[in-house]
Structure 1
């Protein structure tokens, strides 16, 4: 399967970087064709400028021209894998900005044509979504507040994908209090899950 892997963490020495390396190695070993983007290492600009905002609906090509490889890879992919730390119950600003500047009208959705209607999906080529994240909060608290990070991807954005799109979610909770053994066990869990896709 053609997979787009997107990683967002400012430190190359982070546990997130270990998750990214493990994911890419495992997916390649399983025979998948990967295109990978490490947003911080690439220096991706996550800020939607004033000019881009003014042309968001009718001059989308000007935004695409600033990072055509990201849009091309999104259109090429049959599956998307995102790897990031959960901060303030969602993705880092870098990854959120990637969504705002790459998942554009005409690329991932069409703006609805009337009130009370949701955007029209344009990503029927996406048949697999994988989210891998860590969070400082315990699992029970994340569930109590309705799992906003997971909901973003597997409910809010999932509707843009193929109707039969398979979703996989791997989250390590209590990150601030995990042991070396906890983190090693989660790496093995991620490796096993990705190897079985």
Structure 2
């Protein structure tokens, strides 16, 4: 098992950092290899530049500026996201990572006339999505949970057909308690056990 963890939170002492720590400890216990892409601490730029958009369809150029991220994505067979849900969606930093790294020829195969895109991440057989939400589960569901859908449906659709996928969210994070946070970490641990099995 080779896991790429994409971690996205600006604060080093966040609850999301606690989730990351649990995820890495579970991977270590499973004797899995892993790499952490800490988007904030590494200074990742989420901005898709004009030149990158120009080069987007050119597979000889479109991954040059994100070569290490593409190498990590190609190396992995497991993709794990740890991030806060803001305004029901992905943080701009994480969305920018998807925009810049999930390029044609890497994440998906561009369609021929009359076709649709084809999966490019067929080597990704496992996916974990772990997030925190300020809103309640009900309100998030009413809005449609666009962040969750982007990852567990959109990214999942370009992975292996039987990609094992787990998801856990701590809702009402802004009014969380030590007990609610401990319960969430327990859920994450259970999901990680399932992912590593």
Instruction: Name the TM-score class by shorter chain.
Output: over 0.9
Indicate the residue corresponding to 2:178 in structure 1.
180
Indicate the residue corresponding to 1:16 in structure 2.
16
Q: Distance in 1 between matches of 2:185 and 2:146?
A: 23
Secondary structure class of the residue paired with 1:62: coil
Q: Distance in 1 between matches of 2:66 and 2:172?
A: 35
Equivalences for 1:27-106 in 2 at 5 Å?
Answer: 27-58=27-58, 60-106=59-105
Pairwise CA distance, 1:150 = 1.5
- Segments of structure 1 that go 5 or more residues without pairing to the other structure are none
Q: Distance in 2 between matches of 1:138 and 1:87?
A: 13
Q: When the two structures are superposed, what TM-score results if normalisation uses the length of structure 2?
A: 0.93
Indicate the residue corresponding to 2:4 in structure 1.
4
Secondary structure class of the residue paired with 1:42: coil
- Segments of structure 2 that go 5 or more residues without pairing to the other structure are none
Large movers: runs of 4+ above 6 Å:
none
Indicate the residue corresponding to 1:120 in structure 2.
118
Q: Distance in 2 between matches of 1:49 and 1:61?
A: 17
- Which of 155, 158, 163 pairs up with 1:157? 155
Pairwise CA distance, 1:63 = 4.2
CA RMSD of aligned residues (A): 1.4
Q: Distance in 2 between matches of 1:162 and 1:192?
A: 23
